[in-house]
Amino acid sequence: MTKRDLVVRISEETGLVQQQVLEVVQRTLDHISDAVAAGTTVELRNFGVFEVKVRKARVGRNPNQPKTDVPIPRRTVVKFKPGKEMRDAVMKLSAVTPTPAR
């Protein structure tokens, strides 16, 4: 689902003009991005939590040259932890959908 799909869906459900819905969706996403960029945890009840985590520096390996160590620097990443309702919905999906045969 894209942002456009989300806007169209909300517009159809609420009867609001798509441009208005787009502005609200975009501002919501902007505020979430700004808060996470500032290092603030964003918790949306029944949806999930966006938080900033720091990965410590480590030594990796180049698969083409396994004897060569590659230093991987410390970095900051955004983690998303789904809420209970989303997690339960996804679990139902994996239980219902059979694995495609190859």
Contact 49, 43 (CB under 8 A): yes
Alpha-carbon distance of 53 to 39, in angstroms, equals: 9
What pTM, to 2 d.p., does this model score? 0.75
Give tens-digit pLDDT for 9-44.
999 999 999 999 999 999 999 999 999 999 999 999
8's enclosing H/E stretch is: helix 3-14
Give tens-digit pLDDT for 83-96.
999 999 889 887 66
- The strand ranges marked E within 5-98 are 42-44, 48-55, 58-62, 65-72, 75-82
Alpha-carbon distance of 74 to 34, in angstroms, equals: 22
